[in-house]
Amino acid sequence: QVHLVESGGGSVQTGGSLRLSCVASGYTARSHCMAWFRRTPGKEREGVAAIDSDGNTAYAESVKGRFIISQDNAKKTLYLEVSSLNPEDTAMYYCAADFFVNRCGRWWVGDFAYWGQGTQVTVTS
């Protein structure tokens, strides 16, 4: 059974940085698409960034130049380095995964089979 466990969230001031992690377990597939999403109460879930097993990345326009998605396939860990944070980045951040896929395609739609429980990021002004 696949499990995704996020960590690394916290409370930071405007302009601060964090490194979010998502440890995946319970799979053996060599191909995947993994992504980060975020949700704020009262707003729709937003796709933040995605990466496939070849390391191809994609970002939402709102985070380009500030967030970096990466992965360590040996550790089965997905990362999201978030920087230049502002209060609008405050949200619960979730990682998501699909396996046996070669590319992420329309990843922002959010049609992933597996989801983590989330890690909260709060940015104060």
pLDDT of res. 29: 86
- State how far the Cα of 27 lies from the Cα of 122, in Å rounded to an integer: 31
Average confidence (pLDDT) per 10 residues, the chain, 125 residues: 97 98 92 96 95 97 97 96 97 97 94 97 96
Dihedrals φ, ψ of 52, to 5°? -100, 180
With helix as H, strand as E and coil as C, how does the chain read?
A: CCEEEEECCEEEECCCCEEEEEEEECCCCCCEEEEEEEECCCCCCEEEEEEECCCCEEECCCCCCCEEEEEECCCCEEEEEECCCCHHHCEEEEEEEEECCCCCCCHHHCCCCEECCCEEEEEEC
